[in-house]
């Protein structure tokens, strides 16, 4: 069983290719729950990038409606959305970009009465509000629940952001006395790109945290001067007299979002409609050579058809174990390596047996095909252009690939 379904595997492929993310990192993002408070100039870019990154559950909290004055910086919205709920429209936009995540819209402002329930189940909170009272509510609730949160604010051409965790200084340490008569964007204005940049920094810090990294920005206040296009950073000192330094009895909290040892279970429809009980059993050696390249490559249609029509075929994934665990279409996983032919021989000594190979792009499976043919295997075929092309040709999700056939004949 794969961790990701076919659509997710395609959606997140460029992430998974990164050594800094990989299958495990993308699974962490998939299992994460993020609370995003505010869907304005900061919240829009934060929501866009966290949704696109594959954060599995995002709760968007905003009780405001969309106005025309919002549109120059709140890039999830358009003229047709004026007068509608920010949280609901934003949730709809995120789902349109990534249908594999859950987005919950809360059409309300954060208050003393709802903040604890909102924070309780979150792995991290992002403050995208524009007022100090809301930030104090978020700060105190996150201290109570020992939940990290990322603060940001923008005004004019300047912005600032900080990642507060249970081990760092908190917002009250930085602002023990709240500034008075601070203008907001409605009164002072804001450059659209400043809001976008600070939102992207928040999203970046959030993704790094969810991937399990100690981020260098933790416990520091980052200041951006948009006029000079310069950043500077201030280390924050924890106040021993602050509420964050006092013992806290933490209420019940959701289990950590570390990947479960059990693979993610999903339900899906059949992608390849091949009923092996109805198909005549034919040996792949009978395939017309007009349909097979010299390298033994089969296009997706032919690969699916011939595998389904072959009684004794061996299906092999030549990618890494991590890639196979992330998503596969069945069969054994034997990574392409110097001993590849010997490893295949250990499970298949019959060199007349049909063998079907696949990888992500078709490059590794083609090399594996050549290696097996050089080792004397006669009926070896690989998926042309790999899973990427196959999944583009057959974009539906599915749980098993020719399940009944593979379970009988892949050993």
Per residue in 377-396, pLDDT tens? 999 999 888 888 877 765 54
Average pLDDT over residues 359-379: 94
Q: Supply 245's token pair.
A: 């330094």
Q: What's the CATH number for 33-245?
A: 3.40.50.720
- Give this prediction's pTM: 0.81
CATH 3.40.50.720 in the chain: give the residue spans. Answer: 33-245
Q: What's the CATH number for 284-409?
A: 3.40.250.10
Higher pLDDT, 411 or 296: 296
The Cα–Cα gap between 408 and 387 comes to: 22
Percent of the chain residues topping a pLDDT of 70? 81
Is residue 359 annotated as a catalytic residue, yes or no? no
Percent of the chain residues topping a pLDDT of 90? 63
Smallest CA-to-CA distance from 161 within 206, 124, 121 is with: 206
Mean pLDDT, the chain, whole residue set:
83
CATH 3.40.250.10 in the chain: give the residue spans. Answer: 284-409
- List C-alpha distances in Å: 103 to 3, 64, 76, 151, 317: 20, 18, 14, 21, 34
Higher pLDDT, 332 or 295: 332
Residues forming beta bridges with residue 225, ordered by sequence position: 158, 230
Per annotation, catalytic residue among 170, 185, 244, 305: 185
* 263 confidence band (pLDDT: 50, 70, 90): very low
* 1 confidence band (pLDDT: 50, 70, 90): confident
HSE-CB of 384 using CA atoms within 13 angstroms: 15
Average pLDDT over residues 303-307: 75
The Cα–Cα gap between 235 and 174 comes to: 10
- Tell me, what's the pLDDT at 250? 57
């Amino acid at each position: 069983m794969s961790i990701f379904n076919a659509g997710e595997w395609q959606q997140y492929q460029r992430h998974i290719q990164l050594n800094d993310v990989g299958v495990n990192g993308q699974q962490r993002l998939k299992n994460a729950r993020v609370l995003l408070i505010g869907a304005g100039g900061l919240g829009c870019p934060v929501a866009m990038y966290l949704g696109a990154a594959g954060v599995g559950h995002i709760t968007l909290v905003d009780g405001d409606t969309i106005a025309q004055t919002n549109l120059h910086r709140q890039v999830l919205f358009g003229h047709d959305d004026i007068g509608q709920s920010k949280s609901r429209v934003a949730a709809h936009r995120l789902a349109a970009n990534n249908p594999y995540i859950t987005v919950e819209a809360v059409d309300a402002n954060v208050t003393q009465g709802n903040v604890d329930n909102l924070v309780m189940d979150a792995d991290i909170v992002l403050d995208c509000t524009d007022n100090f009272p809301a930030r104090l509510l978020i700060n105190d609730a996150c201290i109570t629940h020992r939940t990290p949160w990322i603060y940001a604010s923008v005004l004019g051409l300047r912005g600032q952001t900080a990642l507060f965790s249970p081990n760092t200084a908190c917002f009250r340490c930085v602002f023990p006395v709240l500034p008075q008569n601070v203008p907001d964007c409605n009164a002072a204005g804001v450059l659209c790109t400043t809001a976008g940049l600070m939102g992207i920094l928040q999203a970046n810090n959030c993704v790094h945290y969810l991937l399990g990294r100690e981020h260098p920005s933790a416990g520091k206040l980052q200041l951006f001067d948009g006029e000079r296009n310069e950043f500077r950073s201030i280390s924050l000192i924890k106040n021993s007299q602050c509420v964050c330094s006092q013992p806290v009895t933490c209420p019940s909290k959701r289990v950590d979002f570390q990947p479960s040892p059990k693979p993610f279970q999903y339900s899906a429809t059949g992608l390849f409609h091949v009923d092996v009980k109805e198909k005549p059993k034919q040996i792949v050696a009978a395939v017309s050579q007009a349909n097979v390249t010299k390298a033994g490559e089969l296009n997706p249609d032919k690969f699916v058809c011939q595998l389904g029509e072959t009684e004794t075929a061996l299906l092999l994934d030549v990618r890494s174990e991590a890639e196979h665990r992330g998503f596969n279409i069945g069969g054994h996983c034997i990574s392409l390596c110097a001993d590849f032919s010997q490893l295949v021989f250990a499970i298949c000594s019959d060199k007349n047996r049909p063998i079907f190979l696949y990888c992500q792009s078709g490059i590794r499976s083609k090399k594996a095909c050549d290696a097996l043919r050089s080792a004397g295997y006669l009926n070896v075929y690989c998926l042309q252009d790999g899973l990427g092309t196959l999944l583009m040709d057959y974009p539906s999700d599915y749980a098993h690939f020719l399940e009944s056939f593979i379970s009988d004949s892949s050993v």
